[in-house]
Amino acid sequence: MMESRERKASDIMTREVATVYSDATIAEVVKLLLEKRISGVPVISRQGAVLGVISEGDLLYKDKKLHYPSYITILDGVFFLESPKRFEEEFKKSIALKAEELMTRDALTVEEDATIAEMATLMTENKINRLPVVAHGKLVGIVTRADIIRAMTEDLL
């Protein structure tokens, strides 16, 4: 039996991945998450490229109380003490109607030959729960934290 650190994404990934297209409604995304009992889903193009990911955390933005950036005025000039860009992103998510408006863009992905150690590092450093697996720019699977933990515990049993 291969040790977990030698195993690759292709060895442990789920190949039947629940996905949504960028024009899916938020209601469709929520329904899919509930039906499949999953906490996130890749958003893909019609050609199968990963455009982003929607997680339960993204859905929480829909109900989050918006925090307006603090500012001061000096000589009729407005100076923001916090990032107005972050507020803009949170506002866009709060009024999102389609998957493309709510998804986290530039989702981290891995190739099929990524090691468990590489994936675990990406997940912990970026505080994410899932990594879409791509081959030739198209989604071929997904690896979750649970997949990695399962692979690591197989060595112990």
> Which pLDDT score is estimated for 27?
85
Q: Is pLDDT at 78 greater than 60 in this prediction?
A: no
> Which pLDDT score is estimated for 84?
58
pLDDT (average), residues 118-130: 94
Q: Is pLDDT at 2 greater than 90 in this prediction?
A: no
Q: Are residues 93 and 102 in contact, defined by beta-carbon separation less than 8 angstroms?
A: yes
C-alpha angle with apex 13: 5 to 103, nearest 5 degrees?
Answer: 115
d(CA 116, CA 23): 33
**Mean pLDDT, rounded, of the chain:** 82
80 against 13, higher pLDDT = 13
